[in-house]
């Protein structure tokens, strides 16, 4: 199935703007395997620019091998192709998106710098850390509780609970690596209240011996009720396309590569 040709091309993985080979084949109008063959044929050249690893995407059906290329690597790959109309169009689009993403990175850095130079913000952030630690301690007890009731993937609740809270409280926050570093002072205070709500709801559910799945639903309901009273707010939309990495497997190569 073809990807949406209007989807975002350049994303940020581990703080580096990159494009996935999985997002290149359709606009270039070539087979994905053709792209991978080019990368592997000139692998030493690509590795000389920046070390990377091949990964496997498991999304049902046959696993797909792919890799992430930074701007220089992607540009080098395109130079290996004939200048057909799709290739020229892709060059234009890719250059614009890399420029846009680098601009977004600078904007994010400016925002982070402003926060870290604001004494009131720093104090509010520091005040919220003990509350957040207390919440994570309770979540760990909840994870152990879920495991005791037969859960096979209880460790995922750390991410699920945080993402659930971010989703209902903020716009675009779920696409940021660390929401709290981008929040304003009022949003940090709201998150601190939410941390307390979550911790208490988890503790109450476990004390009453409720099934772990029902406890999660109860927590979600309480957070949504609070969010409805508070109202959803926006996090500055810098880097809204930071990649949330799927579970991937590194394919061993001749060298020990560092994953993108």
For residue 7, what pLDDT is reported?
Answer: 59
The pLDDT of residue 76: 95
Residue 223, C-beta contacts closer than 8 angstroms, at least 6 positions apart: 164, 165, 168, 169, 194, 197, 198
Half-sphere exposure of 57 (CA within 13 A, CB side): 12
Q: How far apart are the first and last CA of the chain?
A: 26
Q: How far is CA 197 from the centre of its chain?
A: 25
Closest C-alpha to 71, from 2, 9, 6: 9
pLDDT on residue 145: 96
* Cβ-based neighbour number of residue 57 at 10 Å: 14
Q: For residues 90 and 220, give the distance between their C-alpha atoms in angstroms, rounded to a whole number.
A: 43
φ/ψ of 14, rounded to 5, equals 50, 45
- The pLDDT score that the predictor gives to residue 241 is 37
Residue 88 has a pLDDT of: 95
Taking CA 163 as the corner, what is the angle to CA 185 and CA 183, rounded to the nearest 5 degrees? 15
In a structure prediction context, what are the per-residue pLDDT tens digits for the chain, which is 260 residues long?
344 444 578 888 877 889 999 999 999 999 999 999 999 999 999 999 999 999 888 766 778 899 999 999 999 999 999 999 999 999 999 999 999 888 877 877 787 788 888 899 999 999 999 999 999 999 999 999 999 999 999 999 998 998 889 888 988 533 556 778 888 899 999 999 999 999 999 999 999 999 999 999 999 999 999 999 888 888 764 444 333 333 333 333 333 333 33
pLDDT of residue 178: 75
For residue 97, what is the enclosing H or E element?
helix 85-116
Asked whether 135 and 199 are in contact (CB, 8 A), the reply is: yes
pLDDT given at position 93: 93
Query: Which tokens is 89 given?
Result: 């169009």
Domain boundaries along the sequence of the chain? 10-109, 119-234
Q: What does the chain come to in residues?
A: 260
Q: Looking at residue 176, what is its pLDDT?
A: 57
Question: Using alpha carbons only, how large is the chain's radius of gyration in Å?
Answer: 22
Cα angle: 76, vertex 81, 82; to 5 degrees: 135
């Amino acid at each position: 199935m073809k990807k949406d040709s209007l989807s975002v091309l350049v994303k940020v993985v581990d703080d580096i703007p990159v494009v996935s080979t999985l997002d290149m084949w359709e606009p270039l109008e070539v087979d994905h395997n053709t792209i991978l063959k080019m990368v592997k044929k000139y692998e030493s050249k690509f590795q000389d620019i920046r070390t990377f690893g091949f990964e496997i995407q498991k999304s049902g059906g046959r696993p797909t091998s792919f890799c992430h290329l930074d701007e220089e690597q992607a540009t080098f790959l395109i130079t290996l192709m004939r200048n057909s109309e799709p290739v020229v169009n892709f060059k234009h689009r890719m250059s614009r998106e890399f420029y846009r993403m680098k601009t977004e990175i600078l904007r994010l850095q400016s925002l982070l710098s402003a926060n870290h130079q604001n004494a009131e913000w720093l104090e509010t952030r520091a005040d919220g850390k003990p509350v957040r630690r207390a919440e994570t301690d309770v979540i760990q007890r909840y994870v152990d509780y879920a495991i005791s009731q037969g859960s096979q993937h209880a460790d995922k609740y750390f991410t699920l609970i945080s993402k659930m809270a971010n989703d209902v409280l903020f716009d675009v926050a779920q696409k940021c690596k660390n929401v709290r570093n981008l929040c304003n002072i009022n949003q940090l205070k709201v998150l601190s209240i939410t941390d307390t709500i979550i911790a208490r709801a988890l503790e109450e559910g476990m004390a009453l011996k409720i099934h772990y799945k029902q406890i999660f639903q109860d927590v979600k309901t309480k957070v949504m009720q609070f969010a409805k009273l508070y109202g959803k707010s926006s996090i500055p939309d810098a880097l809204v396309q930071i990649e949330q990495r799927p579970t991937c497997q590194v394919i061993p190569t001749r060298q020990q590569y560092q994953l993108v």
